[in-house]
Amino acid sequence: MYSIDFENDLIKDVKMIDIDLLNPHEKIIEEKKISLVKFIKSYESYYIISSIVCCHETLLVIDGHHRYFALKELGFKKVPVTLIDYKSDSIRTGKMNPLDKKFIVDVGKSSTLLEPKSTEHAVYCNKSKNWEPIILLSSMFKIETKEIVK
CATH number for the domain harbouring residue 45: 3.90.1530.10
Read off the pLDDT of each residue in 18-39 and give the average, rounded to a whole number. Answer: 96
pLDDT tops 60 at residue 121: yes
Whole-angstrom distance, CA of residue 17 vs CA of residue 89: 25
pLDDT at position 150 over 70: no
In what side-by-side order are the strands of the sheet with 130-133?
91-92, 122-125, 130-133
Question: Residue 121 belongs to what domain range?
Answer: 11-144
- pLDDT exceeds 80 at position 147: no
Has this prediction a pTM greater than 0.85?
A: yes
- Confidence band of 146 (pLDDT split at 50, 70, 90): confident
H, E, C per residue of 62-106:
EECHHHHHHHHHCCCCEEEEEEECCCCCCEECCCCCCCCHHHHHH
Q: How many distinct structural domains can be found in the chain?
A: 1
What residues are labeled active site? 26
pLDDT digits (tens, 9 = 90+) for 59-86: 999 999 999 999 999 999 999 999 999 9
User: Within 13 Å of residue 127, how many CA atoms lie on the same side as its CB?
Assistant: 6
Q: Residue 102 has what pLDDT?
A: 95
Query: Does 149 fall in a domain?
Result: no
pLDDT, residue 97, reads 82
> Would 6 be classed as within a structural domain?
no
Is 116 within a domain?
A: yes
